[in-house]
Structures are given as C-alpha cells and as structure tokens.
Amino acid sequence: MSSPNLHVAVIGAGATGLLLAQGLKKANIRVSVFETLPKQSYEDNPRTWTMALHWSRRNVEQCLPPELFAALSSAHTNPWHEPSHDEAQSLPVVDGKTGEVLVAARVDDGRRVVRRKLRDLFRRGIDVRFGYKLAGIDASGGEGVTATFENGEVVRVDVLVGADGAKSVVRDHLVDGDAKELDRVPLISTNIGCRYTAEQARFLRSKIHPIANMAVHPDQDTLFFLAVADVPDPEDPETWEFQVALSLWSTEDPPETNEDRMKYFKKLAEPYCEPYRSAALWVPDDTYIPRDKYAECKRIAPWKNFDGRVTVAGDAAHPMCPSRSKDLPLTAWG
C-alpha cells in the first residue's frame, strides 16, 4: 500500500470531506469523493448557513494549494471587510434584556464563512461523483475496501473515509449496537437567513459586531445568535443577508406548521433588546423555518478501522450542535 499508488475514497462532499480531499491531493495521493445527492440538488440547496473558521484558518492553509488558500476570503461572510485586530480577537455575549455586555468571548483570528461558498471553493479540482449513495462497505479481505452504492456501482479502494455527516452510513458499519444511535438534543431552534429593507439592513449592520453576536435572556432558556451571513454587494443593503438563530432549551418538539413556528419564534424574540428584537420581528411571516432537530452521540465507542483502512471524520465521528461553533475548526485541526 505505497503512497504513489494509494487510492482513497471519501464519502460525503461537505466541507470536511472536501478539505480532506484537498489535503490528500496536495500530498499526491489519489482521492475520489462520493456524494449522495445528485449534482443539481447539491448545488441548488437554498439554505443560508455560516460557520466559524477562526483559529483553524492556519490548519486549512496546510491542506489547500496556495492559489485556493489565497481565495479563502471569497468565502467569508463579508469578503469586503477585513476585521480589525480587536474585532478578530473577541465576540460579544450580551444580556438579551438589557444589552449589557456580559463577556467578550475570546477567539483567535475570528472569521466566519458561508458554507455554500466554502464548499464550492474546496471542491475546485476535486473528483466528486454525485448521486452515489453508499449501500455497504466490505473490508474483510485483509487488503483494500470495497464500497457498494445504491446506483449499482462497486468501487474498490485502499482506504475509505466516511465524512457523511451525523447520520453516517460509514459509522454504522464500524460500530455495533446502541453505539450507532444518536441522542436528541433538547433544543427548539430557529435558524434562518434573511434579507431586509435597505433601512433595516443598515440599522442591523450599525448595531452588531461584524463577525458574530450572541445574547442570552435572563427570563428565558434561550440563546440568540445574529450575524452577517453574506454581502454580495456592499453598496446595496437589500442584498445583505443575515443569519438569525434563536434556540430554546426544551424537550418539546418544534411546532408542526411553519406559521406556528414563526409565531413561536417571534414570541420568544419579542422581549429581547435591540437589535435582536427587530432582527426577528422584521422577518417576513412567510419565511420558511426548517423544523430542525439536533442530535449528538453519547454512547461513544471505539470503531473498527480494519487496520487503518476505514475511518470517519467530522460529524460522522463526533456529531455536535452547530451552536457550539466548533465543527469546522475541529475538522480542520483533526
């Protein structure tokens, strides 16, 4: 199994799988990425989602060729703004009732990126095969791994890495019993991208930290996250998109209908101070709120790795809630 002839299959074309593929390619190791979704569905995903990059930018640099790392700022939530030293070193956490800064949470080289743009950047030059839903793996022969896909394709490689998310099919083949199970995290979460009128967008931008903002309310078990999510045109505020996320610690399920989810979201946000209150109440009532449910793995057990020929990475290895803001940094660090 010498490096010049080594062939690695990565299951999943998310940020984790693609960054891993870039690192392998940089090391002159042949790599193929297999993605469950058809290409059109993969590229048309309309959801706005941002991720913390922060200190892991240095690790990302080690995985990318120089020309791609030089373009990393194009995936920033606001590529037109370079954070000052102070902005990049701390993020405010405020009392959601009074607006008082409770703590300036320390970060190292604070940055946020647009998931969609980061994924597109990491995909450049990588062999990604779309519409490949994994059906099974066989590593019992002592050499190599055989991956079988639901489209009938059978691929034989030297090493297989599952980067296929929290509900990883690869992990299910590596662990037994209840170690496969995920535990529901007791959260009701609203997490949306929203554009506003020019006047509203300017108001929000003038009141918030350019990277991320967090507020906790003393009368609720809630956390409000507010951030600039995308700035296509710095001169046109109506193109600016914001990520608005409000989470309630609760064992209840989210409301069934979108109308009820919107009413519940705005009811929780109404007691918040500005700009959080307006960021929520200005969301158009017909905005779709996904009925998100989060899970984590509590029954962690060593997985079979077949002498290093099969493993998992990212959420496939350690599912966690996005509110922890650690998925991408830990992926790049690991």
CA-wise closest residue to 328 among 6, 9, 15, 8: 15
Domain with residues 3-76+111-181+297-333, CATH architecture:
3-Layer(bba) Sandwich (3.50)
DSSP type of residue 218 = T
Residue 321: Cβ-neighbour burial (10 angstroms; 0-12, 13-18, 19+): middle
State the angle between helix axes of 115-123 and 15-26 in degrees (0 to 180), rounded to the nearest 10.
30
Q: CA 125, CA 268: separation in Å to the nearest integer?
A: 45
User: What's the Cα-to-Cα distance from 149 to each of 11, 132, 136, 158, 272, rounded to whole Å?
Assistant: 11, 6, 7, 17, 49
pLDDT at 3: 60
Phi, psi (deg, nearest 5) at residue 73: -65, -20
pLDDT for res 326: 46
pLDDT of residue 332: 46
Task: Give 80-110+186-293's CATH code, choosing from 1.10.10.10, 3.90.120.10, 3.30.9.60, 3.30.1330.10.
Answer: 3.30.9.60
Residues of the chain with pLDDT below 50 are 1-2, 325-327, 329-334
Question: What pLDDT does residue 217 have?
Answer: 98
- pLDDT given for residue 107 in this prediction: 87
pLDDT at 32: 98
What are the start-end ranges of the E strands in the chain?
Answer: 7-11, 30-35, 50-52, 90-95, 101-106, 112-114, 128-130, 134-138, 145-149, 154-157, 159-162, 183-184, 187-195, 213-216, 222-230, 241-249, 295-296, 310-312
Specify the pLDDT at position 334: 47
> For residue range 40-82, what is the model confidence (pLDDT) as tens digits?
999 987 788 899 888 888 899 999 999 999 999 999 999 999 9
Would you state the pLDDT for residue 210?
A: 94
Q: What is the pTM of this model?
A: 0.90
Residue 322: predicted pLDDT: 65
Burial (0-12, 13-18, 19+ Cβ within 10 Å), 52: buried
Helices of type H across the chain: 15-26, 39-44, 57-63, 66-69, 115-123, 169-174, 198-207, 258-269, 276-281, 327-333
What residue spans define the domains of the chain? 3-76+111-181+297-333, 80-110+186-293
Reading the block at residue 26, the tokens are 């940089």
Closest CA to 55 of 115, 125, 120, 106: 106
List the beta bridge partners of residue 241.
195, 230
pLDDT of residue 323: 55
Taking only the tens place, the pLDDT of each residue in 242-297 is 999 999 999 998 999 999 999 999 999 999 999 999 999 999 999 999 998 888 87
Cα 260 to chain centroid distance, Å, stands at 26
Nearest Cα neighbor of 226 from 204, 203, 249 is 204
pLDDT of res. 175: 86
